[in-house]
Amino acid sequence: MKIYLKYDINVIFKKTLEEQLDKIGINYTINGLGEVEFMEAISVDKITQLASLLSIYGIKIINDHKSEVIQRIKDAITEMVINSSIDNSCKVSTYLAEKLGYSYTYLSSLFSEGTYTSIENFVILKRIDRAKTLILEDKLTLTEISYNLGYSSVAHLSYQFKKTTGLTPTVFQKIIKQRKETAKAQ
């Protein structure tokens, strides 16, 4: 027998972080996907202990400025793609510059240097990942999905989806439906 699970990695991350921070008694506020603010000074021993507890889950504390900014770029893009309340007509460059307080030229250069890909490619990958999730949920049409993700048309979404995954969104939907039906039959 098999079961299939659906999960939200952001919820898992936040819950894991909260549990580990609570375990060592640190007073904190979680400000975003990857940012924690301590409400009082924290000893090096507590930071080391936290780093050890989080490493079990593949979570690392970032210690250098470049890596921190790159992670903040990734988190901001993820938030932008997932959060439908953010204006889809807003350009990524404007959104990142305003959210992070740096020029887009600086952010783009730093991101490319640190990840060996462009911000634009990362945005496309995140949008396609989100499109797959929305297709799996089977609540929205492709037109609604393309609109929610800021695409100008279903054709544009389909082009990028196929270029990234090798499948059109429609073929992806059919494969998922066939797998679900096969799983039910077993």
Please list, in sequence order, all residues whose beta carbon lies within 8 angstroms of the beta carbon of residue 135, skipping any fewer than 6 positions away. 142, 145, 169, 172, 173, 176
pLDDT of residue 47: 87
- Give the pair of three-digit tokens for residue 106: 């600086």
pLDDT of residue 85: 57
Distance CA 123, CA 76 (A): 10
Kindly calculate the radius of gyration of the chain based on its CA atoms and give it in whole angstroms.
19
pLDDT of residue 31: 79
Domains of the chain: residue spans and CATH: 1-61 (no CATH), 123-185 (1.10.10.60)
pLDDT of residue 88: 62
Looking at the chain, list the stretches that DSSP marks H as alpha helix, in order from N- to C-terminal side.
9-23, 44-55, 65-82, 92-100, 104-115, 119-137, 142-148, 154-165, 169-185
Taken as a whole, the chain contains a residue count of 186
Q: Please give the sequence-ordered ranges of beta strands (E in DSSP) within 28-182, or none if there are none.
A: 28-32, 35-38
What sign has the CA pseudo-torsion 117, 119, 125, 126? Answer: positive
pLDDT of residue 84: 64
pLDDT of residue 87: 65
pLDDT of residue 138: 83
List per-residue pLDDT tens for the chain, 186 residues long: 677 777 888 888 889 999 999 998 888 888 776 788 888 888 888 889 999 999 999 988 887 889 889 999 999 999 889 886 566 667 899 999 999 999 999 999 999 999 999 999 999 999 999 999 999 888 899 999 998 888 889 999 999 999 999 999 999 989 988 888 887 777
pLDDT of residue 120: 95
